[in-house]
């Protein structure tokens, strides 16, 4: 199994409040994920907009972004597979 395939399989075990993986399937020689679409602007688009407008990210939004990222990392650290074995996610 390739590194990418292991990462895809690991991602299927990481479903939580921020991300939902619906299906893992093969397409030819590769694995694909079917994931929930989360509407809204991407963080990349937000940063690009702020850079081009000399804008400042309001602190409540910055705090929410950091809190969501921390919650996702905590979930990844605590994640276990179906047998209860730690996934040992490295990020």
* Residues of the chain with confidence (pLDDT) below 70: 1, 4-5, 8-9, 11-12, 15-19, 90-91
- The alpha carbon torsion through 28, 33, 39, 45 (nearest 10 deg) reads -70
Task: Report the predicted TM-score, pTM, of the whole model to 2 decimal places.
Answer: 0.63
The string of pLDDT tens digits covering residues 49-70 is 999 998 899 899 999 999 988 9
List Cα–Cα distances, 23 to 11, 52, 71, in angstroms. Answer: 11, 38, 23
d(CA 2, CA 80): 20
């Amino acid at each position: 199994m390739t590194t990418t395939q292991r990462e895809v399989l690991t991602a299927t075990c990481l479903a939580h409040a921020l991300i939902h993986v619906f299906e893992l399937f093969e397409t030819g020689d590769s694995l694909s994920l079917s994931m929930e679409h989360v509407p809204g602007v991407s963080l990349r688009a937000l940063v690009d907009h702020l850079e081009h407008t000399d804008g400042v990210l309001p602190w409540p939004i910055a705090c929410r972004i950091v809190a969501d990222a921390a919650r996702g990392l905590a979930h990844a650290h605590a994640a276990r597979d179906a047998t209860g074995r730690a996934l040992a996610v490295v990020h």
